[in-house]
Amino acid sequence: MGIASINPTTGEVLKTFEPILAEELEAKLALATETYKSYRTTSFDQRAQWLRKAAELLEQRKAELAKTMTLEMGKLLKIAVPEVEKCANLCRYYADHAEGFLADESAETDASRSFVRYLPLGPVLAVMPWNFPLWQVFRFAAPALMAGNVGLLKHASNVPQCAIAIEQIFCDAGFPAGAFQTLLIPASQVAGVIADKRVVAATLTGSEAAGASLAAAAGKALKPTVLELGGSDPFIVTDSADLEAAIATAVTARMLNNGQTCIAAKRFILLESIAEEFTKQFTAKCAALKLGDPMSPDVDLGPLATPQILNELEQQVQACVAAGAKLVLGGQPAELPSELAAGNFYPATILSDIPAGSAAYEEEFFGPVALLFTVKDVDEAIALANFTPFGLGASAWTQDPAEQERFINELEAGAVFINGMVKSDPRMPFGGIKRSGYGRELAGPGIRAFVNAKTVWIK
């Protein structure tokens, strides 16, 4: 069965790729292993030179790469270009800081000299998602390559052209053949790759089910993993908040990337005193969003990535309404031009008065659906925020220092943003707790995720 690149805006099949054969996969694994033997001995300066060249190529090709992302998964072109630029900045960040992050760390012991040295592990498999086709890959690849590892990419099946373009960037930047390779294989072959003794570790960004499957395979093979999974991030607004700023940010925080973001604000938890005004203004702003062709600069919402995602989101919304939730906005198929009729479009949707026990309390809504909850006080807000099985990010809006401290300390999440939208930044660790995964990407912890922290004792 082929790996198809399908335009979610029109339903058109753009290109179909045949999965690599068993002998081709074997050749790629052998090449990765052989390349690692010499690549691990290259200097930080040499790796940084190649990575800076990759950054240059990203910027030179950003228009082409952005268009490919938009065609394959429906991302607005106007946010696809900044994604490429963010990848370039990430490459430069690790080119500048990797050596410092992995410098020897001295320790005072009974030895004449003792220290920790960070050394690479070998070929690392990355199973990556479609929603940020470049960013998700580069935030793994840049630190992994700077640490002296080599990368193997199993990208999402609906973005094969992005996967191929990424490998080409590293190749054209001068990295040795085998330092970074794309594997066009189905998900069913991932466990076999992890089981291969030449692959030393794995990382995955994706669904809970995919993460559990990869972790099980890696656990059986006793190999380390980093998982970044789903999220149902709370966006808490208190009565001391800058309401205008909170509402403006809330629209972006929910609708960015057509609502298909793990760290999107999904549950809006509002104190009673401001709930009515927030709902009124938030609804008006969401209603004004234009749905349409993501290539168009005046469009605010494009299609969902696949028909399956669209169907699941529709079912989740209808289940909430059937359970007694109020449909404030959207929830119905949008009227679009005939050329977009086959696209996976879903309008900005808002649900409120959500009854306890409904799907909204437990599930991640991966699309442009905002869930509104009203609470009496900060205690109730924190309890509701933590009720979800997820723990990726959280945003809280308050001018009260005591409340800020409570949110920082008590919200169960890998990141808490006060008076701002949750986002990833190369300078800060990124990852979740609970069913949102484990381990960290980015900053120092990200590059140390796949290294051997070797104790050295000399007398």
Catalytic residues: 228, 262
* Helical pair 77-101 and 62-73, crossing angle rounded to 10 deg: 120
- The number of beta carbons lying within 10 Å of the beta carbon of residue 1 is 8
Residue type, 454: K
The whole-angstrom separation of Cα 373 and Cα 93 is 39
3-state secondary structure of 357: coil
282, 268 Cβ separation under 8 angstroms:
yes
* First-to-final CA distance of the chain: 60
The whole-angstrom separation of Cα 280 and Cα 382 is 23
Ordered DSSP codes for 31-76? HHHHHHHHHTTS-HHHHHHHHHHHHHHHHHTHHHHHHHHHHHH---
53, 88 Cβ separation under 8 angstroms:
no
148, 119 Cβ separation under 8 angstroms:
yes
Q: What residues form DSSP beta bridges with 17?
A: 3
Q: Identify the CA nearest to 235 among candidates 76, 39, 418, 401.
A: 418
Residue type, 270: L
